[in-house]
């Protein structure tokens, strides 16, 4: 896994179970493989619904106010997420990606942030991208202020910029710009970060039963262009206020990255109309004949 590895560098086998490298981390008899975790097929529950149960279950902000500045170690996040019933099929898991971050540290002997800098940010020339310090609230310098809707008419949105970066870690603590995001995906397809064989493996998309397919850390989406359906790759994501989508043609010629800074869980705007507008924007940007 990772970038092109030298002869003396240890490489993890994607088809080995996680406990071959991190014994006892996940409390399961049938351990997920590294590949299954990368594809979110490892049946590992997500930790965020446990940290913010009131938010996820009813939109009540009590758990957010109580927990959003709390520091959690990766081990704590995995333990929190691994409790409760295991999902079946494709289930997006921040817990699984936290475990993968721990695997990277285990096999390299280096902090995850250092590995990200050396293997991704520097080779790809991402000058405005960094791995947020887990002991901080993450974002530094000028940035769009993230907001989460509250359901409280007196305070409809709350600034979430003080969220502890430790809660995102390997699952989402990279801070970047739209320009750097586009450059990152350029570096995936032009050979800077991945060999052709590695890129083909990463974009071997599997059906999820959702509106997208999934590879190794990458979404595959199909857009109906005027010339017929076309496949694009990339990812979307959020962090309790920051929302991002970044999608690209497989040949690297067409791309779009966009972000907005409000997560509306209470229907203050027309969610269907907003989603349709984003879909239209993606189609216009990515379809060659649009």
Whole-angstrom Cα distance, residue 135 to residue 167?
10
Considering only 7-11, 109-113, 136-140, 282-286, which range has the smallest mean pLDDT? 7-11
Residue 36's nearest CA partner among 221, 216, 197, 237 is 216
Pair of tokens at residue 170: 């390997």
Question: Given this model, what pLDDT does residue 141 score?
Answer: 84
In tens, the pLDDT along 268-286 reads: 999 999 999 999 999 999 9
Strands 262-263 and 147-149 come out as parallel
Burial 245-270 (b: 16+ CB within 10 A, else e): bbbbbeeeebbbbbbbbbbbbeeeee
CATH topology of domain 18-286: Beta-lactamase (3.40.710)
The token pair at 166 is 């430790």
Task: For residue range 206-224, list pLDDT tens digits in order.
Answer: 999 999 999 999 999 999 9
Extract the tokens encoding 49: 């619904």
How does the average pLDDT of the chain come out, rounded? 94
* Distance in angstroms (rounded) separating the CA atoms of residues 189 and 196: 8
Mean pLDDT of 230-252: 94
Written as one string, the DSSP assignment of 221-255 is EEEEETTEEEEEEEEEEESSS-EEEEEEETTSS-E
pLDDT of residue 200: 97
Asked whether residue 289 carries a pLDDT value surpassing 90, the answer given is no
Residue ranges covered by each domain of the chain: 18-286
Q: Is the pLDDT of residue 8 over 70?
A: no
Give the model's pLDDT for residue 137: 84
pLDDT, position 290: 60
Average pLDDT over residues 237-252: 93
Residues sharing a CB contact under 8 Å with residue 273, sequence separation 6 or more, in sequence order: none
Q: Please tell me the distance from the alpha carbon of residue 107 to that of residue 90, in angstroms, as a whole number.
A: 26
Provide the 3-class DSSP secondary structure of residue 37: helix
- At residue 139 the predicted structure's pLDDT band, cuts being 50, 70 and 90, is confident
Q: Over the stretch 170-205, which tens digit does the pLDDT of each residue have?
A: 999 999 999 999 999 999 999 999 999 999 999 999
Retrieve residue 133's tokens.
């310090």
pLDDT of residue 6 exceeding 60: no
What percent of the chain is modeled with pLDDT above 70?
97
DSSP 17: B
pLDDT at 20: 97
Predicted structure pTM score: 0.94
Query: What pLDDT is recorded for position 4?
Result: 39
pLDDT score for 246:
98
Q: What is the pLDDT of residues 86-127, one digit of tens each?
A: 999 999 999 999 999 999 999 999 999 999 999 999 999 999
């Amino acid at each position: 896994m990772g970038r092109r590895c030298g002869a003396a560098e240890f490489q993890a086998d994607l088809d080995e179970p996680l406990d071959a490298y991190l014994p006892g981390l996940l409390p399961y008899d049938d351990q997920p493989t590294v590949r299954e975790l990368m594809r979110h097929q490892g049946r590992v529950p997500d930790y965020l619904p446990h940290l913010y149960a009131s938010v996820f279950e009813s939109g009540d902000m009590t758990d957010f106010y109580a927990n959003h500045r709390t520091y959690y170690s990766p081990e704590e996040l995995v333990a929190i997420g691994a409790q409760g019933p295991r999902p079946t099929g494709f289930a997006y898991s921040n817990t699984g990606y936290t475990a993968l971050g721990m695997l990277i540290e285990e096999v390299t002997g280096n902090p995850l942030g250092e590995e990200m800098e050396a293997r991704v940010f520097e080779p790809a020339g991402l000058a405005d991208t960094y791995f947020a310090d887990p002991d901080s609230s993450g974002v530094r310098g000028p940035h769009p202020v993230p907001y989460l809707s509250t359901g409280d008419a007196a305070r409809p949105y709350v600034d979430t910029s003080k969220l502890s970066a430790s809660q995102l870690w390997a699952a989402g603590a990279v801070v970047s710009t739209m320009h750097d995001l586009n450059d990152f995906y350029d570096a995936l397809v032009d050979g800077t970060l991945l060999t052709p064989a590695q890129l083909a493996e990463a974009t071997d998309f599997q059906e999820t039963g959702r509106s997208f397919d999934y590879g190794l850390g990458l979404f595959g989406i199909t857009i109906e262009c005027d010339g017929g359906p076309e496949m694009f790759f990339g990812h979307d994501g959020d962090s309790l206020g920051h929302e991002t989508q970044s999608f690209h043609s497989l040949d690297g010629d067409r791309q779009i990255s966009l972000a907005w800074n409000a997560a509306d869980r209470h229907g203050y705007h027309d969610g269907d109309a907003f989603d349709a507008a984003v879909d239209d924007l993606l189609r216009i940007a990515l379809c060659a004949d649009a």
